[in-house]
Homo-oligomer: A and B are copies of this chain.
């Protein structure tokens, strides 16, 4: 990047998709020129953020009693075929290994599109009695899907990064509690650490994970008003435990099938969401918690500046911050432009005046406002900044999202408000069970929008009618375009 002047001149509001396509390439986050369609290379700047996102997710999952494991990439075809709905759901998009060297294999082996059928094969060996439960295990891996839809870097690819947690319980109640726990983990990481507000839905029955009893999922509203699913958690009931014979002896001495859940936050998509939601026309804005460089120190040449800057760098590193001193030969102006583009949350400017007065000037990437403080207050300032920046990012993101949201009491009203720029509609709706399918299809045909589900903690309608069929509404659903 050094030496090559960056030119970035796309208006995010006017053309978000173009903005996104430009920034992920020009900021050298990913490279999609690899010679297999739908597979991308993650470059250092993206990988550093991804590693931090993984740390956050793993840490929160471990606090909730999960332990790390690693299962094989390859899954025998016979495992796949054990749960009938599951195999139907995934077979069209599974990559198959069929050869080892020049020899055909005895059995086709799937590249994991998701790992239920690997994990639960072993769970049937590991789980014997109630004292083996609950079992909560996770792995951080890539998964593979032979997508036929158009791919888009980090958002829809044939290889993507995620965490998958697979849990087994003695009862349905514990399994349903786990769904709440997964919601907490999702919100803690996305909202508290990354500043990304999420809508946590129970999905309609016609849009659930194949093999699940119920699917719950978190959507982020993107800058174009479309929803991006960034995590999902599924109550699997006994569907897989019956298929894989995962049985335990309960306290009452009876043999029972375990109740299961699985949870998958998508790390590639979380990265896509934070790039998209937080960035602006000057470039990226990373949340402080996961920024590859949290603080850049830019010296403005003058007496004593070089040493003063180095001391600041050392002090920041000592306190555990990811700090970088840009003592390259670019002009300060070029450095400001570059590090703003690359989304460094906080810039410290040090010139002869700061040296003389024992101060530092701090520039906030988000507001672009500057402030000068005593050097002795620097660490306190940075500590406060690290907390406030993510709050401010989250508040701004929330406002942006709310700007797209509206209540509608008829399909006609949705159509009208779409013209005014609204994109996400809350409406009373008959049913998320299969008997609501026709109403959902009609909405999709009329408006191009999908029923995303009901919020997990939302109130139920009292005397409203479904906006399509006019029958009593049993839930409020959100209707939006989806990635």
| A73 pairs with B118, CB closer than 8 A | no
B34 lies within 8 A of A137 (CB): no
Decide yes or no whether A461 CB sits under 8 A from chain B.
no
Q: How far is the CA of A50 from the CA of B95 in the complex (A)?
A: 28
24 interchain pairs (CB within 8 A)? A31-B125, A34-B72, A34-B118, A36-B72, A36-B109, A41-B72, A42-B71, A43-B69, A44-B68, A44-B69, A47-B67, A72-B159, A73-B73, A73-B111, A73-B142, A74-B95, A91-B101, A92-B102, A95-B97, A95-B99, A95-B100, A96-B99, A100-B146, A111-B111
Q: In the bound complex, do residue B31 and residue A74 qualify as a contact, i.e. CB atoms below 8 Å apart?
A: no
On whether the beta carbons of A121 and B70 are closer than 8 Å, the reply is: no
A341: interface (CB < 8 Å)? no
Tell me the bound Cα distance from A142 to B141 in angstroms.
Answer: 10
A94 within 8 A of B: yes
Q: A39 — which chain B residues lie within 8 A by C-beta?
A: 72, 74
**A82 to nearest B CB, angstroms?**
12
Assess whether B47 is in contact with A69, with CB atoms less than 8 Å apart. yes
Nearest-Cβ distance from residue A15 to partner chain B, whole angstroms: 26
Q: Are B68 and A41 in contact (CB under 8 A)?
A: no
Q: How far is the CA of A14 from the CA of B101 in the complex (A)?
A: 38
- Do A73 and B41 have beta carbons less than 8 Å apart? no
Q: Which 3 A-B pairs have the closest CB atoms?
A: A100-B146, A44-B67, A39-B72
Contact flags (1/0) for A74-112 with B, using CB distance below 8 Å?
Answer: 101011000000000001111111111110000011010
A335 close to B (CB within 8 Å): no
CB contacts (< 8 Å) of A36 on chain B: these are 72, 74, 76, 109
Which B residues touch A146, using CB under 8 A? Answer: 100-101
**Interface presence of A13 (CB below 8 A):** no
Determine the interface band of chain A, counting residues with CB < 8 A from chain B: 35 or more
Question: Which chain B residues border A41 with CB–CB below 8 Å?
Answer: 69-72, 122
Q: Are A79 and B35 in contact (CB under 8 A)?
A: yes
Check A101–B92 contact: CB distance below 8 A. yes
Q: Does A2 contact B (CB under 8 A)?
A: yes
Residues of B contacting A100 with CB < 8 Å? Answer: 93-96, 146
Q: Closest B-chain residue to A95, C-beta based?
A: B97
Residues of B contacting A67 with CB < 8 Å?
44, 47
Is A356 interfacial (CB 8 A cutoff)?
no
Interface centre among A67, A70, A101 (most CB of B within 10 A): A70
Complex contacts, A419 vs chain B, CB 8 Å: none
Please, which residues of chain B bring their CB within 8 A of the CB of A131?
2-3
Taking a contact as CB atoms closer than 8 A, the residue among B47, B111, B122 that contacts A97 in the complex is B111
| Residues of the B chain whose Cβ atoms lie less than 8 Å from the Cβ of A79 | 35
Q: Kindly state whether residue A288 has any CB partner on chain B within 8 Å.
A: no
A40 within 8 A of partner (CB):
yes
B residues near A2, Cβ cutoff 8 Å: 131
Q: Is B98 a contact partner of A102 (Cβ separation < 8 A)? A: no
How far does the alpha carbon of A92 sit from the alpha carbon of B69 in the complex, in Å?
Answer: 30
Cβ contacts under 8 Å, A76 to chain B: 35-36
A156 contacts partner chain B, Cβ-Cβ < 8 Å:
no
Chain B residues within 8 Å of A47, by CB: 67-70
Residue of B nearest to A48 (CB): B68
- Flag whether A377 is at the interface (Cβ < 8 A): no
* A93, B103: Cα distance in complex, Å: 10
Q: Any chain B CB within 8 A of the CB of A471?
A: no
A33 within 8 A of B: yes
Q: Chain B residues with Cβ under 8 A from A126's Cβ? A: 31
Interface string of A46-73 (1 = CB under 8 A from B): 0110110000000000000001111111
Expressed in whole angstroms, the Cα–Cα distance for A41 and B71 within the complex equals 5
Residues of B close to A159: CB separation below 8 A: 72-74
Q: Would you give the shortest CB distance from A37 to chain B, in whole angstroms?
A: 10
A235 at the interface (CB under 8 A from B): no
Nearest Cβ distance between residue A341 and chain B, in whole angstroms?
19
Q: CB-CB < 8 A to A94: which residues of B? A: 100-101
What distance in Å separates the Cβ of A104 from its nearest Cβ neighbour in chain B? 9
A78: nearest residue on chain B (CB-CB)?
A: B35
Q: Would you list which residues of chain A between 179 and 194 have a CB under 8 Å from chain B?
A: none
Nearest B-chain residue to A51, judged by Cβ: B68
CB distance from A34 to the nearest CB of B (A): 6
Q: Which B residues touch A50, using CB under 8 A?
A: 70
